Amino acid sequence: MTRADGSEHQHMYMMYVDESGDTGLVGSRTRYFSLSGLVVHESRWRDLISTLIAFKKTMRAVHGLPVRGEIHASEFINKRPFALPRYTRLAILRNSLDELAKLNYISITNVVVDKQGKPANYDVFEKAWLTLFQRFENTLLFANFPGAHRNDQGVVFTDATSGMKLLRLVRRMAVYNNIPYNGAHGVGARNLPITRIVEDPHGKDSAESVPIQMCDVVAYFLSQRLAPNSYIRSKGAQLYFDRLDPVLNKRASRTNPLGIVML
| Domain interval for residue 67 | 16-182+190-262
Provide DSSP, 110-177.
EEEEE-TT--TT--HHHHHHHHHHHHHHHHHHTT-STT--TT-EEEEEEEGGGHHHHHHHHHHHTT--
Domain annotation covers residue 10:
no
Number of domains in the chain: 1
Query: 163 in a domain, yes or no?
Result: yes
Q: What CATH number corresponds to the domain at position 194?
A: 3.30.420
Determine the pLDDT at residue 213.
97
In a domain, 11, yes or no: no
Confidence (pLDDT) at 170: 82
Please check whether residue 228 lies inside any domain of the structure: yes
* pLDDT the model gives residue 67: 93
Half-sphere exposure of 16 (CA within 13 A, CB side): 25
**Residue 254: inside a domain:** yes
List phi, psi (to 5°) of 251.
-75, -15
Domain assignment of residue 2, yes or no: no
pLDDT given at position 148 = 67
SS3 label, residue 229: coil
CA distances from 65 to 49, 78, 81, 186 (A): 18, 17, 9, 57
Q: What is the pLDDT of residue 40?
A: 95
User: Mean pLDDT for each consecutive 10-residue tract of the chain (263 residues)?
Assistant: 46 93 91 96 96 98 96 96 96 98 97 96 93 88 73 86 80 77 65 77 91 98 97 97 97 95 96
CB 237, CB 102: distance < 8 Å:
no
Amino acid present at 111: V
Would you say residue 153 lies in a domain?
yes
Quick check: 90 and 73 in contact, CB under 8 A? no
Supply the pLDDT for residue 217. Answer: 98
